[in-house]
Amino acid sequence: MKFTLIPEEAPSDSLRRIASEQIGGAIAQLQRKDDLNEGIHEARKHFKRVRALLRLARGALPAETYAFENQFFRDLGRLLSPVRDSAVYIETLDLLRDSQRGRIADEAFLRLRKRLVREHRAVLNEFAQDEQRQGSIIDSLRYAQPRVAEWRFRQSEFSLFRAGLRRIYGRGREERAVAFSQPTTESFHAWRKRVKYLWYHLQILQPLWPAQLKAVERDCDRLADRLGEEHDLAVLLATPTVQDLLDSRSISADLLRSNVSRERERQRRAAIPLAQRIYVESPRQFVDRIEAYWLAYRPHSQFLPK
């Protein structure tokens, strides 16, 4: 399963192949018997990759195709969100504990973690026992796979990607400016989504010039991680279980609140140099550079009919 273009394929064929493989991968993950929790996590990644692909080709797809498929995979992902979200709360608390070691009381940490683990197990078990819901999701994916073969693109070669790539890169620059001028949880989360989509786009386009695009892709991955951890910390504080602790106004609650604030600030500061490197160009300059790589990747494309 290669989440990239292949030189021997027409770009439209590559996108159909990638989408079909991602759907097949999601089905396989949701049928896992060894670790359904991990399977749900991986299935959601497959959905996000398909949605990123749709955004990359958005300028070439009929509007109704884009809207339908984007909503379809978004809604499927939301059906799996409760299981994944409850697992993220535990992971985020553990990361906070590691980064702020010695600043969170052991007893309070363990008590909170045990409650989050119990809640996650309850959500996971509920999903695991709901065979009808699992079957419905898998059936929906099986019906979606043949639809991919029917996707029709209005452009070919690099024109297939130009508008979508420029849109996501430009939106990322705009969201970055908003996040640093209006540093709210919502603004940083909105920016993170654009960074994540650009990361996926660069993975798809990496064969154009692997050495060059891999470096930007790596920075996007790191930036998405920083922004993702910052957002997860904010969401952790908002969960009912953690709110119960914060409402107690105990020393443990004050420590948790201050440590979360300190860690969120650290993640935001770590995002600055990464963002400066990624968004050093204007959207037009960025897309023009990628198109120049395209002509080295598929030099004959400039001679094809427009």
Per-residue pLDDT of 1-59, as tens digits, reads: 789 999 889 999 999 999 999 999 999 999 998 999 999 999 999 999 999 999 999 99
Per-residue pLDDT of 235-254, as tens digits, reads: 998 888 888 776 666 667 77
Whether 235 and 91 have beta carbons less than 8 Å apart is answered as no
User: Per-residue pLDDT for 207 more than 70?
Assistant: yes
Mean pLDDT in residue range 83-112: 81
Instruction: Find tokens 């790596």 and name the residue.
Output: 218
Mean pLDDT in residue range 141-151: 96
C-alpha Rg value of the chain to the nearest Å:
21
Q: How far is residue 11's CA from residue 36's CA, in Å, rounded to a whole number?
A: 34
Give the pLDDT confidence score for residue 304 in this predicted structure: 52
Q: Is 102 left (phi over 0), alpha (psi -120 to 50) or beta?
A: left
Cβ neighbours of residue 211 closer than 8 Å, sequence gap 6 or more: none
Give the pLDDT confidence score for residue 137 in this predicted structure: 97
More reliable by pLDDT, 48 or 107: 48
User: Per-residue pLDDT for 227 more than 80?
Assistant: yes
How confident is residue 301, by pLDDT bands cut at 50, 70 and 90? low
How confident is residue 102, by pLDDT bands cut at 50, 70 and 90? low
What percentage of the chain has pLDDT greater than the value 70?
93
Q: How far is residue 38's CA from residue 303's CA, in Å, rounded to a whole number?
A: 47
Give the pLDDT confidence score for residue 302 in this predicted structure: 54
> Over the chain, what is the mean pLDDT?
92
Name the nearest CA neighbour of 214 among 4, 17, 42.
4
User: Per-residue pLDDT for 60 more than 60?
Assistant: yes
How confident is residue 98, by pLDDT bands cut at 50, 70 and 90? confident
Give the pLDDT confidence score for residue 291 in this predicted structure: 96
How confident is residue 232, by pLDDT bands cut at 50, 70 and 90? very high
Type and span of the H or E element at 34: none
User: Per-residue pLDDT for 225 more than 70?
Assistant: yes
Mean pLDDT in residue range 67-93: 95
Please state which of the ranges 67-76, 136-145, 166-175, 294-303 shows the lowest mean pLDDT: 294-303
* Predicted model pTM: 0.93
More reliable by pLDDT, 162 or 106: 162
Mean pLDDT in residue range 54-81: 97
How confident is residue 256, by pLDDT bands cut at 50, 70 and 90? confident
The correct CATH number of 11-297 out of 2.40.160.20, 2.102.10.10, 1.40.20.10, 3.40.50.2300 is 1.40.20.10
Q: How far is residue 193's CA from residue 172's CA, in Å, rounded to a whole number?
A: 8
Tokens representing 291 are: 């198109």
HEC string of 17-33 equals HHHHHHHHHHHHHHCCC
